[in-house]
Amino acid sequence: MQYQNWGPQEITAPVRNELPEVPVERDMVLEDAQSGWVGAVTRVEKSGGMHVVALEDRRGKSRSFKLGYGFLLEGQPIRLMPPAPRQSPAAPAGRTASGSVRVAGQRAQVAKASRIWVEGKHDAELVEKVWGDDLRVEGIVVEPLHGIDDLAGAVAAFGPGPGRRLGILVDHLVPDSKEWRIAAGVMASPGAAGNVLIVGHPYVDVWQAIRPAVLGIEQWPVVPRGQDWKTGILAAFGWPHATKEDIGLGWQKLLGAVRSYADLEASLLGRVEEVIDFLTAP
């Protein structure tokens, strides 16, 4: 089967036009280039690593947008950045890959009983790369699942309860799918209510949670039904894809292109943040 070559042989840092980086400020009037929505900044919210700005139009209606590219200020395209940190210039605080402020000298906590389960090694590596620093501060461990066919049995063996919660991230969690039915069965089991949270993203595989622009492509290749998805993706990129080692090396190239939360789709960001909030709530 012939594939179009969708990507470069080597993935490097994202190639974007150089745009002015402007910290968001209250009452700044912005236009969202995609929707045409124009409004004044009324607030900026931060849930873990994702910043969202609320724009109120002249009729008093408000819509929220993720910070980053796609905004116009006085008709000129900009990259909208988080608010400038209010801190002493002599002791600047860095930020983690999730966008959270890195606290100097902060030690990792002893691991709590609560866990994040993700569907596969690649999912775990992606979560670790972006949210690892935050999770170590919170004492939360990420563990990969090898499929979810026996998720109910695994949850029962874990024994969730107060102070021993589970947050589970599932691939392709869409209504009426196999994954959807498995998740519903788990949540109906004893002890799950209030102690287990199952969330998911709509992608076939967590690879698709990487924004295409980060890889220098317009969209992810379409893999025909019946074809192994990862193999098909690597073939479409023109990369080696015949062995498990090839797939592992291909994933490392993709993972290497991810520098921070801004390189991931909002549909994954929101779900991971939801899980972290669930596990760290009093």
Q: What is the CATH number of the domain that holds 61?
A: 2.30.30.30
- Which pLDDT does position 45 carry in this prediction? 74
Residue 12: pLDDT band (50, 70, 90) is: very low
So what's the pLDDT on residue 147? Answer: 86
Q: Is residue 148 part of a domain?
A: yes
Residues 202 and 216 in one domain: no
Q: Which CATH number goes with the domain that contains 167?
A: 3.40.50
Task: Give a yes or no: residue 60 inside a domain.
Answer: yes
Contact 4, 236 (CB under 8 A): yes
Q: Are residues 137 and 191 in the same domain?
A: yes
Q: Which of 86-95, 97-106, 124-133, 212-221 has the lowest mean pLDDT?
A: 86-95
Q: Say which range, 11-15, 47-51, 266-270, has the weakest mean pLDDT.
A: 11-15
**CA dihedral for 228, 231, 236, 237, sign (positive or negative):** positive
Q: Look at residue 95 and tell me if it is in a domain.
A: no
- Stretch 167-190: mean pLDDT, rounded? 91
When divided into structural domains, the chain yields a total of 3
Distance, CA of 276 to CA of 112 (rounded, Å): 13
Q: What pLDDT, on a 0 to 100 scale, did the predictor assign at position 49? A: 58
Q: Which residue, chain included where needed, has tokens 């179009």?
A: 4
Mean pLDDT of the chain: 82
Do 175 and 45 fall within a single domain?
no
d(CA 180, CA 200): 9
Task: Name which residue leads in pLDDT, 94 or 16.
Answer: 94
Tell me whether residue 58 is exposed, middle or buried, using C-beta atoms within 10 angstroms of its C-beta: 0 to 12, 13 to 18, 19 or more.
Answer: exposed
Is 190 in the same domain as 276? Answer: yes
* Residue that has been written with the tokens 């190239």 in this structure: 253
For the segment 139-170, what is each residue's pLDDT rounded down to a tens digit?
Answer: 888 999 888 999 999 999 999 998 899 999 99
The answer to whether residues 249 and 240 touch, using CB atoms and an 8 Å cutoff, is yes
| pLDDT band of 96, cuts 50, 70, 90 | low
- 160 found inside a domain: yes
Q: For residue 13, tell me if it sits in a domain.
A: no
Task: Please report which residue ranges of the chain form alpha helices under DSSP H.
Answer: 121-138, 151-158, 178-187, 229-237, 244-256, 266-280
The pLDDT assigned to 46 comes to: 62
> How far apart, in whole angstroms, are the C-alpha atoms of residue 23 and residue 126?
27
Mean pLDDT, range 238-242, rounded to an integer: 93
pLDDT interval class at 28 (50, 70, 90): confident
Same structural domain, 197 and 63: no
Residues 159 and 274 in one domain: yes
Q: Exposed/middle/buried for 254, CB within 10 Å: 0-12, 13-18, 19+?
A: buried
Residues 42 and 158 in one domain: no
In-domain check, residue 65: yes
Is the model's pLDDT at 8 over the cut of 80? Answer: no
Q: Is there a single domain that holds both residue 271 and residue 193?
A: yes
* pLDDT tier at 202, thresholds 50, 70, 90: confident
β-strand partners of 101:
95
Same domain, 188 and 273: yes
Residue 92 DSSP class = -
In a domain, 108, yes or no: no
In a domain, 105, yes or no: no
Residues 213-239: pLDDT tens digits? Answer: 888 888 999 999 899 999 999 999 999
Please report the pLDDT score of residue 16 as a whole number.
47
Question: Closest by alpha carbon to 179, among 155, 154, 206, 202?
Answer: 202
Residue numbers of the domain that contains 47:
21-81
Identify whether residues 147 and 266 lie together within a single domain.
yes
Q: Are residues 120 and 240 in the same domain?
A: no
* Residue 120 and residue 168 in one domain: yes
